[in-house]
């Protein structure tokens, strides 16, 4: 099996299924790993027992069931594509299942800690602090993914400041409109007033770095982690934690799972239902603290 076949399949994913560059890069790494495991055996010669052995080897090296499930999904999709042109007789991944892993609930910040994080310290009156506050308020206000926020352009400000909503492109380039709260709108207005002093000429990005270009994913992650440390939070905070906090807090207040699904951009309600477990944990803590028969004597 030539690398050209892999390139052709990945190009198809990017063009027809409109997968993000990040997802396509992950699929490429998954197929590179398959080639490494296969050694001298050509990919079109692989059989079910090979795939089972590869999964067992990777599990033995410490890969979780979730990671192995993603690998299998990529491999299965590639072989299914090959099978349409009779390049393989059968899909060697058919019937192979990854080992189960314990399901970890998403980590959300308590409401009070979220407030501490978003409250800019008195000394943070520089342009970068104004930008950071706008980013983090928007993360929490609208439940954006890191890639969605980093990809925003300056022209998104018009709908934010005018209609109180923002249009983002989610996974598979699926567009959605999400509301933006008053705190986030105020923070974005403050950033809009000073953005041009940092941005390079003709730079379209909404959030820019020291050199005037679009702020990268890693830079946003580091700025958020540093803010959390300065504000005295006892956890390592990452952008997706603010998305989890948004979903959990809105669900606790409204109980409207469908609305949360729409705002998060989940294709399936099953992806959103994990937050009902967080909501139950919250209710259980309230019960334990309040019910006379639940209190430990």
Q: Answer whether 75's CB lies under 8 Å from 93's CB.
A: yes
From the list 59, 66, 183, 240, the catalytic residue is 240
Mark whether 140 is an active-site residue. Answer: no
- In sign, the C-alpha dihedral spanning 29, 33, 34, 36 is positive
Give catalytic status of residue 18 as yes or no.
no
- The single residue of 33, 59, 171, 217 carrying the catalytic annotation is 171
Give yes or no: 183 in active site: no
Catalytic, out of 33, 52, 107, 266: 266
With 0-12 CB in 10 A as exposed, 13-18 as middle and 19+ as buried, what is 33? middle
Which of 185, 195, 227, 243 is labelled catalytic?
243
Closest CA to 30 of 68, 64, 2, 80: 68
Total number of residues shown for the chain: 297
The neighbour count for residue 65, using CB atoms within 10 Å, is: 16
What are the backbone angles phi and psi of residue 204, rounded to the nearest 5°? -85, -15
Which residue of the set 131, 140, 244, 275 is catalytic? 275
In whole angstroms, give the CA distance from residue 21 to residue 19.
7
Task: List CB contacts of 31: < 8 A, sequence separation 6 or more.
Answer: 6, 74, 75, 78
Pick the catalytic residue from 107, 145, 154, 217: 145
Q: Is 171 assigned a catalytic role?
A: yes
In angstroms, what is the C-alpha Rg of the chain? Answer: 23
Residue 176, beta-bridge partner list: 168
Catalytic residue status for 287 = no
Q: Active-site residue 236, yes or no?
A: no
**Where in the sequence numbering do the catalytic residues fall?**
145, 171, 240, 243, 266, 275
């Amino acid at each position: 099996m030539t690398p050209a076949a892999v390139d052709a399949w990945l190009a198809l994913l990017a063009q027809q299924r409109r997968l993000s560059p990040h997802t396509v890069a992950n699929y490429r790494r998954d197929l590179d790993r398959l080639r490494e495991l296969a050694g001298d055996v050509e990919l079109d010669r692989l059989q079910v027992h090979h795939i089972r052995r590869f999964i067992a080897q990777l599990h033995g090296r410490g890969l979780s069931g979730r990671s192995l499930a993603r690998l299998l999904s990529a491999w299965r999709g590639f072989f299914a594509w090959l099978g349409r042109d009779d390049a393989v007789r059968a899909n060697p991944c058919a019937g192979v299942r990854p080992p189960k892993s314990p399901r970890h609930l998403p980590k959300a910040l308590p409401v009070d800690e979220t407030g501490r994080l978003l409250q800019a310290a008195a000394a943070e009156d520089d342009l970068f602090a104004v930008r950071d506050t706008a980013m983090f308020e928007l993360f929490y206000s609208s439940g954006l993914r890191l890639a969605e926020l980093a990809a925003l352009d300056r022209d998104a400000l018009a709908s934010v400041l005018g209609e109180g909503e923002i249009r983002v492109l989610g996974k598979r380039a699926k567009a959605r409109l999400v509301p933006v709260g008053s705190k986030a709108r105020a923070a974005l207005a403050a950033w809009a007033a000073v953005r041009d002093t940092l941005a390079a000429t003709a730079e379209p990005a909404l959030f820019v770095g020291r050199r005037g270009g679009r702020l990268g994913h890693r830079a946003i992650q580091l700025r958020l982690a540093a803010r959390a440390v300065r504000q005295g939070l006892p956890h390592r905070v990452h952008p997706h934690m603010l998305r989890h906090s948004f979903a959990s807090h809105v669900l606790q207040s409204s109980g409207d799972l469908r609305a949360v699904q729409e705002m998060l951009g989940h294709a399936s309600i099953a992806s959103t239902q994990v937050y009902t477990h967080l909501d139950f944990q919250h209710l259980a803590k309230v019960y334990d603290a309040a019910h006379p028969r639940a209190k430990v004597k």
